Amino acid sequence: MIMKGKKGLIVGVANNKSIAYGIAKACFVQGAELAFTFLNDALKKRVEPIAQEFNSNFVYELDVNNNEHLDSIAEKIKKDLGEIDFVVHAVAFAPKEALENSFLETSKEAFDIAMQTSVYSLLSLTRAVLPILKDKGSILTLSYLG
């Protein structure tokens, strides 16, 4: 149980087939206490049962492109869990039209949206949770091939 006593935030779990789910399961099996985030009500309906599967009541709304959400997430987690040991950033998004066409047909606007959400959000999230991340805490991010 190498994760016993560790607390972590899983951002971006979509369903029980996602890589983030597999990471959460491995952490839980090894003793970690977990918190989860969801983007919207549709995803909340998927994430809450996953959190329950891992004995977690800690499920927070988080749009990584919303500064108000980012500004408040650390305070909410600190209230419920105190400091955390790790964060899993499993966030990826691209507009539908960017995925349907050739990569070379991707508009600058669609590319910017994809980069903001899938890449830059790692920095935004890290800044947001840094005050509650323990010394020598870890941040894991996943990339996505569309």
pLDDT one-digit tens code per residue, 108-121: 999 999 999 999 99
Q: Is residue 128 part of a domain?
A: yes
The pLDDT score that the predictor gives to residue 91 is 94
Q: Is residue 101 part of a domain?
A: no
- Domain hosting residue 27, numbered range: 7-91+123-141
Q: Is residue 99 part of a domain?
A: no
| pLDDT per position as a tens digit, 11-59 | 999 899 999 999 999 999 999 999 999 999 999 999 999 999 999 999 9
The pLDDT score that the predictor gives to residue 143 is 78
To the nearest whole number, what is the mean pLDDT of the chain? 95
Query: How many domains in the chain?
Result: 1
Question: At 27, which CATH number?
Answer: 3.40.50.720
Q: Is residue 118 part of a domain?
A: no
Q: Is residue 28 part of a domain?
A: yes
Nearest to 56 by CA among 77, 34, 73: 34
- pTM score, two decimals? 0.93
Question: Which tokens belong to 144?
Answer: 């996505």
Q: Is residue 82 part of a domain?
A: yes
